[in-house]
A and B are shown apart, each in its own frame.
Chain A
Amino acid sequence: MLVTERKPDEEILASVQGDASVFLVGCNGCHSACERGGAEDLPALAALLEGAGKAITGSTTVDFLCDKSLVRSRLRAFTRQILRADSVIVATCGVGIQCVADSVLKRVRPGCNTINLGGNHGTWGATERCAECGDCLLDKTGGICPITNCSKSMVNGPCGGTTSDGKCEVDRQRDCGWYRIYMRLKDLDALDQLKEVVGPKKHGNYLPSYDVMTGEHWATDAPVPAAAAAAGKEGDDE
Chain B
Amino acid sequence: MSNLSEALARGEFLVTGEIGPPKGTNIEKCLEDAEHLRGKVTAINVTDIQSAVMRFGGLATCHMLVERDLEPVFQMVCRDRNRLALQSDLLSAHVLGIENVLCLTGDHNILGDHPDSKPVFDLEAVGLLQCVQTLMEGRDMAGNELDGAPPFFPGAVVAPGSEPVEMQIIRMEKKIAAGAKFFQTQAVYDVDQFADFMGRVEGFGVPVLCGLVLLKSVGMARFMNANVSGVNVPDRLIARLKADKEKTKSGEAAIEIAVETIEGVKDLCQGVHIMPLGWDHLVPDIIDRAGLA
Spell out A's residues near B (CB within 8 Å).
151-164, 169-171, 178-179, 182, 191, 194-195, 197, 199-201, 203
Distance between B13 CB and nearest chain A CB, rounded to angstroms: 24
Least CB separation from B231: chain A residue = A160
Interface size range of chain B in the complex: 35 or more
**B163 in contact (CB, < 8 A):** yes
Q: How distant is B142 from chain A, measured CB to nearest CB, in Å?
A: 11
Docked complex Cα distance between A139 and B123 (Å): 20
Q: Any chain A CB within 8 A of the CB of B127?
A: yes
B49 at the interface (CB under 8 A from A): no
Partner of B174, one of A157, A164, A170, A182: A157
Q: Which residues of A contact B119 (CB under 8 A)?
A: 152
A157-B167, A162-B162, A182-B167 are known contacts. Are A151 and B110 too (CB-CB below 8 A)?
Answer: yes
A159 to B229, CA, bound (A): 10
Task: Give the CA-CA distance A194 to B125 in the complex, in Å.
Answer: 15
Partner of A197, one of B126, B157, B162: B126
Q: How far is the CB of A219 from chain B (nearest CB, A)?
A: 34
Residue B108 lies at the interface, judged by CB distance under 8 Å to chain A: yes
Determine the chain A residues whose CB is within 8 A of the CB of B107 once the complex forms.
Answer: 161
Q: How far is the CB of B154 from chain A (nearest CB, A)?
A: 15
B173 touches A161 (CB 8 A): no
- Contact pick for A156, options B79, B111, B174, B228, CB 8 Å: B174
Known: A152-B119, A200-B123. A191 touches B170 (CB 8 A): yes
B130 & A200 in contact (Cβ 8 Å cutoff): yes
The complex places the Cα of A57 from the Cα of B163 at a distance, in Å, of: 39
- List chain A residues, Cβ under 8 A from B130: 197, 200
Contact A170 B171 (CB under 8 A): no
* B230 contacts partner chain A, Cβ-Cβ < 8 Å: yes
Q: CB-CB contacts of B100-123 with A at 8 A, as 1s and 0s?
A: 000001111011000000010111
Q: Which of A152, A156, A178, A191 contacts B126 (CB 8 A)?
A: A156
Q: How far is the CB of A167 from chain B (nearest CB, A)?
A: 9
- Mind listing 25 A-B residue pairs with CB under 8 Å? A152-B79, A152-B106, A152-B124, A153-B121, A154-B105, A154-B121, A154-B124, A155-B127, A157-B126, A159-B124, A160-B157, A160-B229, A160-B230, A169-B227, A170-B110, A179-B164, A182-B166, A182-B167, A191-B166, A194-B170, A197-B126, A199-B126, A199-B127, A200-B127, A200-B130
**Complex-state Cα separation, A229 to B99, whole angstroms:** 69
Contact digits for B153-195, partner A, Cβ 8 Å, 1 yes 0 no = 0000111001110111011011001100000001000000000
The answer to whether B229 and A161 touch across the interface, beta carbons within 8 angstroms, is yes
Q: Which of A151, A159, A164, A197 is packed against the most chain B CB atoms within 10 Å?
A: A159
Q: From known contacts A163-B229, A170-B111, A178-B167, infer whether A197 and B178 are also in contact, taking CB-CB under 8 Å.
A: yes
Q: Known A-B contacts: A161-B229, A170-B108. Give 9 more (CB < 8 A).
A: A152-B106, A152-B124, A156-B124, A158-B162, A160-B157, A178-B167, A179-B164, A197-B177, A200-B130
Interface residues of B in 19-74 (CB under 8 A from A): none
A134 to chain B, nearest CB (A): 15
Q: Indicate which residue in B164, B186, B228 contacts A182 across the interface (CB closer than 8 Å).
A: B164
Residue among A151, A156, A170 with most chain B CB within 10 A:
A156
0 or 1 for each of B109-153: is its CB under 8 Å from A? (1 = yes): 011000000010111111100110000000001000000000000
Q: B158 — which chain A residues lie within 8 A by C-beta?
A: 160
* A200 contact set on B, CB distance < 8 A: 83, 122-123, 127, 130-131, 141
The 10 closest A-B pairs by CB, nearest first: A157-B171, A160-B159, A156-B126, A154-B124, A200-B127, A170-B108, A152-B121, A159-B105, A182-B167, A194-B170
